[in-house]
Amino acid sequence: MIEQLKDNIRQEIREITQETCENVMKNVKRARICKAAGGSHFADVIFHR
């Protein structure tokens, strides 16, 4: 049972795309900027979509 769970988790991890990883990295960067600004607005940052 545990081995099947581990196999399922490994399979799901393999299916994560490079695009998803890149988007996560961008969002983490934005979150760090927000945290450094004390959670307030930061007008000098331009977000690209």
Q: What confidence tens digit (pLDDT) does each residue in 33-46 have? A: 888 888 776 666 66
Could you read off the pLDDT of 18-37 as tens digits, one per residue? 999 999 999 999 889 888 88
Number of domains, the chain: 1
Burial (CB count within 10 angstroms: exposed 0-12, middle 13-18, buried 19+), residue 34: middle
pLDDT on residue 11: 98
pLDDT on residue 33: 86
Largest CA distance in the chain: 51
Amino acid at 18: Q
Q: Which residue segment(s) compose the domain that 27 sits in?
A: 1-47
pLDDT on residue 3: 98
DSSP letter (8 states) at residue 40: S
Task: Say whether pLDDT at 9 is over 90.
Answer: yes
